[in-house]
Amino acid sequence: MHWKLNNPVVRYTAILFLLFFIQSNHGSNLKINFRLQPIDYQGQQAISYRYYRGNLTLPCQLEESSPSQRIAYYWTHNHHLVQVDRRIILQHGNLTLNWIQLSDAGNYQCFAIHNHGISVSRIATLQVRQLQLPFNHSDTIIVQSLNKGQYARLTCPIPASTNPLPNSIYWTGGDNDKYLSIQQHPQLYQSFHDGILHFTFVQPSDTSIYRCHAVFQLYDPIGRNYVTVVNHGQKQMLNISHGVSPPLSQSPINVVVTPIDQTAQVGEKSIHFQCVVAGDSSTFQIQWYKFHDTLPIHRYQLSHHRYKLTITDVQLDDQGQYYCQIKDNHGHIISEHKAVLTVTIPPKWNHSIQDRVVSLRQSSSTWHCQAIGTNLQYRWYANGDIIANSSKYRIYPHNGTLIIHGLQQSDSKIYTCMVINPFGNIVKSARAQFVHDSPPTFAVRPFAITKWILNRRNKLICQADGFPIPKLSFTKNDQHLATSTNSSRLTVIPTNGTLIIHQAELTDGGIYQCIAINRNGSIRIQTKVIIIPSFQAVLNYNSTIAQVGKPIRLTCDILNQQYGLNHSITWSYNTNSRIHSSKRMIITADVRSSSSSRLTIDQSIINDTGVYTCHVVSYIDDYGYVINTASARVNIIDIPHPPKDVKIDQITSTSVQLTWRQEIDSNRPVTEIGIDYRLKSTRLWHHKIILATNYLTPSSDTITTVVEHLIPYHHYAFKLSVVNAVGQSRTNQEYQVTTLPDKPTLAPTQFYVSTTGANYQHMSISWLPLPRQFHHGPNINYRLYYNKHRTDLWQVKEVGHSGHYILQDIIPHSKYNLYLVAWNSIGESDLKTPTATVMANRPPPISLPPFPKLYVIGLSVVRVRFEDVWNSADIKISHRNKQGGIYKFQLCANGEGGDSQIKRIATVNITNPVPDRIRNVTFTKQNMSGLMIRWKAPLWLDSKATYQKIDYYRVEYFSPEDPTYPRISTVTKLPSFSTDDLPEGLYTFTITARGRFGYGVPLDIIYDMTHCQNPSVPYGLAIKMIETNPIHLLLEWKTNDQFQSISFIMQYKISTSQQEFQNITNNVVSDFRYLVPLRMLNQSNEMYQFRIIAVACSLMSLPSDIASYTPITKPSTTHFFSNLWHIFLVCATGGTVIIVILLISYCIIHRRFTRNQPDDHKKNINSPRESTISTREIIKSSSRSKLVASTSYNSTRKSYKTSIA
């Protein structure tokens, strides 16, 4: 649509015609506010008509509008209608300007004509940059000649028509136009407004050629970037003479630049005030302050000798008067200059206008429009025309309120409120309808029967017209549903008459009524809600990965399918493209029902990667179409490329480094890398996996890794493979490598030493040589180290590698220590065999104890128990073999003559630990035939809690003296056992704990019931204090028992404590007295209680009577100053000493003065004048006060006077 209308009458006639034409095309759902508003191009975004030759588009479009809707747009430029032509184009509301001209600058506003009226947009400002380039029209140099110490200024010749000003200005100096750093020259300052260069105090060194350069950042609205243009000014020269400058005190102080008023926006990055003073900076001071306030804390900076004040992150509180005060060095104010900072807040809505319907019964209507900001101005439009104050309209400028008088139906229009300040403007349009009263009528009504779906979001819509606007409410089964209801399942929106049910349940069914009411009447309508079960679409995969060329099968099933509902299943690819059955993509349906569909992709390719969606569409009467979807992500990839350029280097004895190149292909991703290696002497491959994400990056395709824990001096074969979700790359060729040799790391096993030969004068050594994989180098051999017992001199013999050696050169009847070490060409092993101690000429054991039994009491500890151990032989255990959790132990006897030749093998499973022996067993005799046994549970050697549980204890006992006494066995869950029928005699008790995997290690204890009886209670407990160093308490007591094995336990506690008595020591005492050191008590005033318990044959008596003791508190020390007599005595003594010292000082001073009287003084003795000669000595008393003695001589009276201060 093109506009070429200049006459206002013709313009308004055309607008009315368009408005009538559009209103004839109904569009009641059209929104009247703008989705796209015109934007500003000013300041940094100003458009340069010289440099920018593209087009500039100012957007304008109503909300949810489209070209098919009946909307017409027109624009104004500086309040004049825009005439469109080939250069200025109006299309779909957007105004495009081609080949920007200076005349295009100004304010633009968009108007939209629709069936409700005319909506008005915000005002957009287009600033066209005027840039005259270049500045320099002449090659001549402007010369200024000045004397040293004067003020000079160089101006930057920016034309007055330049708008906006340059983004930045800098200066260069010298013949080579070298950049001039202002910070490095204290006498230089550059104004930030106009770029003028100030020399506040010129020096001869300032003689040079200077040049100004202006930098412009020209905005490109299409690329949304900037083009930098630099304009170079005319050269200027300063010629400073070497004349004598006036003294600094006489040099004038002049303010050459004063601060100017500024306006800033809240949140602006920074603003600057400047105050430049000509003269030597050492002769004056500059002080900045804010009137009746302080400078912003942490947000202001003073720079360039305090010439410039910078305030960052501007806030509203920064608004006010700022003063620059110049003082001389004596603090006198020379001058003071003021600048005002005005801080503006861009407008923001506080209360915007909304659509309204007003009854014509009222004579006037008030419409509030209020925004937040500073220096706000309000403007109202009615169908695009500016409203002015009149008898019809009244606008309040302080809050934007509009009052319309004499209401008529013709006042129904689109009203727009605009809020303006220097930093922007905002608009909001609303529709006002002035109507006559009418009763409610339904505009949208529900069906007689409404179907809701179970477990889904359902709604009931009911809308009514009328004036006043009817209020809508709902009832269910004649029960009122509050309009304010907003629960987790039920929401009532009375403004648009919508009832929303979230996650409908079966109980939500029933009779619902919608009621509309206003002051002119009420109406109601009802509907029956039926709840039908929901259904759901489910795919067999949420995501899957397939290999190129392999088929993909996706199955879509309908769960909770109900009879009476027709379903239609379709497939789509990447949510947009619908899939139709083809030769490669086959869609098959379940022939028995419509509840399942299968999508088969035959011979998949890379492009098949994407999201596949199954759409289940069902139609429900009175509800509409219901769509359920289920999606699956399908990723088609191929197996990875094999490794390339494999290299093995940095070979050590236990590790090698592998480096190769891996081709990166998004269609062949790599997730893992497999490294297979084996000893060439075996067929067992070891597999190591590393994650590719730790090595591969988009910028590097080289992988380097180290394989460790290899066996030294062995030949290895390596293979590399690359793995992803669909398979493994073809295995690469084998790579051979040999690790470097190293010294052995193990000692030989099954090391045995025993005497042999006639009279057992030799020693036979046997061992199990190391297997080949533990040689770690060439020339494996073994060394025997031996020395005479308790000597430090060790002898060494090479014993070969046969596993057997006879040592002959030993001293008869001597004890020897022996151990064996493996070695090779690289060195000797750090590990050795256990040291064996053997006595020469002593035979070794010839047999083993019978019935050895091994108990696993931890995952790494085995305890051995023999039923009968004889011949004083120790039992030696040697690890022999391991198969999973099964260990074999080789047992042999060991004596002075070494190890026995007979060995026995025992097998045990270490995965089934049993409890260890019980501990802390105590026997208490109850009566002549009663006995109580208590113990503590065994300790576990491992931290695993799965088997650390005692099920019960087995107690067995018998009498070795009485063969007729039966062997009794019983069990108990408590760690205690008691019997009341135990005849006198000697008994053997065996107590065994049972755990999860069986019985543990038994404990055998022999107890004598014949010679033991309960000890009697100690009596006569007394406490005495013994003055020893340190001080002790002596406890003495008595007993009636005559046992030789009786002993005692001492216990104590604080009388006021609620705790039990504690043992003084961990050991029992056999004496009838005990010294308790006082330092073990806390030396408080608390009373201590002591008691004694007698112990005999593991039987304990009852506690004795309690004896008490209270520590004696030391007498407090009295200081001398706590007694008045002591204070008086010290003061009197000190005063006497001070007086004596003063008298001695006086005599010494008087004698010196009399002896030194001159003859001249005797001649003038009749002189009427009086002279005073004073001598002062400071005497420090014991009280640290100062006394001054002053001696004066009077010439007239011929006398001396001494005073003390």
Per residue in 120-156, pLDDT (tens digit) is: 999 999 999 887 666 666 677 888 888 888 889 999 8
Phi, then psi, of 180 in degrees rounded to 5: -100, 110
- Beta strands in 662-779, from DSSP E residues, in sequence order: 672-679, 686-691, 702-707, 715-724, 727-728, 735-738, 749-756, 762-768
Which stretches of the chain score pLDDT less than 50? 1-6, 8-10, 12-13, 16-28, 484, 563, 869-883, 1116-1117, 1156, 1158-1205
Question: CA-based angle 797:802:807, to the nearest 5?
Answer: 40
User: What is the chain's percent helix, strand, coil content, to nearest 5?
Assistant: 10, 50, 45
Q: What is the dihedral of CA 1161, 1162, 1166, 1172, to 10 degrees?
A: 40
Burial 1081-1118 (b: 16+ CB within 10 A, else e): eeeeeeebebbbbbbbbbbbbeebeebebebeeeeeee
Structure tokens at 729: 């790359």
User: Looking at residue 37, what is its pLDDT?
Assistant: 93
Structure tokens at 823: 């070695």
Query: Which residues have CB under 8 Å from 298's CB, separation 6+?
Result: none
- CA pair distance 195, 135, nearest whole angstrom: 14
User: Looking at residue 647, what is its pLDDT?
Assistant: 92
pTM for the structure as a whole: 0.46
- CA pair distance 32, 428, nearest whole angstrom: 9
Q: Can you list the pairs that 880-889 forms with residues at least 24 positions away whose Cβ atoms lie under 8 Å?
A: 880/749, 880/750, 880/905, 885/909, 885/910, 885/911, 887/862, 889/854, 889/862, 889/864
Phi, then psi, of 702 in degrees rounded to 5: -100, 135
Query: Which residues have CB under 8 Å from 1151's CB, separation 6+?
Result: none
**Bridge partner residues of 818 (DSSP):** 786, 836
- Grouping H, G, I as helix, E, B as strand and the rest as coil, residue 1155 is helix
**Bridge partner residues of 683 (DSSP):** none
Tell whether the torsion through CA atoms of 1028, 1033, 1038 and 1041 is positive or negative: negative
User: Looking at residue 222, what is its pLDDT?
Assistant: 85
Element (H, E) at 991: strand 986-995
User: Looking at residue 714, what is its pLDDT?
Assistant: 93
User: Looking at residue 1183, what is its pLDDT?
Assistant: 29
Is there a contact between 677 and 685 (Cβ–Cβ < 8 Å)?
yes
Closest by CA position to 1010, among listed 961, 1065, 937: 961
What is 96-126 written as a DSSP string? EEES--GGG-EEEEEEEEETTEEEEEEEEEE
Query: Left (φ > 0), alpha (ψ -120 to 50) or beta: where does 281 sit?
Result: alpha
Interstrand relation of 80-81 and 727-728 (parallel, antiparallel or unpaired): unpaired
- Based on its alpha-carbon atoms, the radius of gyration of the chain, rounded to whole angstroms, reads 56
User: Looking at residue 867, what is its pLDDT?
Assistant: 62
- CA pair distance 146, 1111, nearest whole angstrom: 100
- Grouping H, G, I as helix, E, B as strand and the rest as coil, residue 20 is helix
Closest by CA position to 1198, among listed 1166, 1152, 1160, 1150: 1166
- CA pair distance 116, 25, nearest whole angstrom: 11
User: Looking at residue 249, what is its pLDDT?
Assistant: 61
User: Looking at residue 658, what is its pLDDT?
Assistant: 93
Structure tokens at 77: 């430029």
Query: Which residues have CB under 8 Å from 131's CB, separation 6+?
Result: 48, 50, 51, 162, 216, 218, 229, 231
Query: Which residues have CB under 8 Å from 577's CB, separation 6+?
Result: none
Residue 617 burial (10 A CB sphere; 0-12, 13-18, 19+): middle
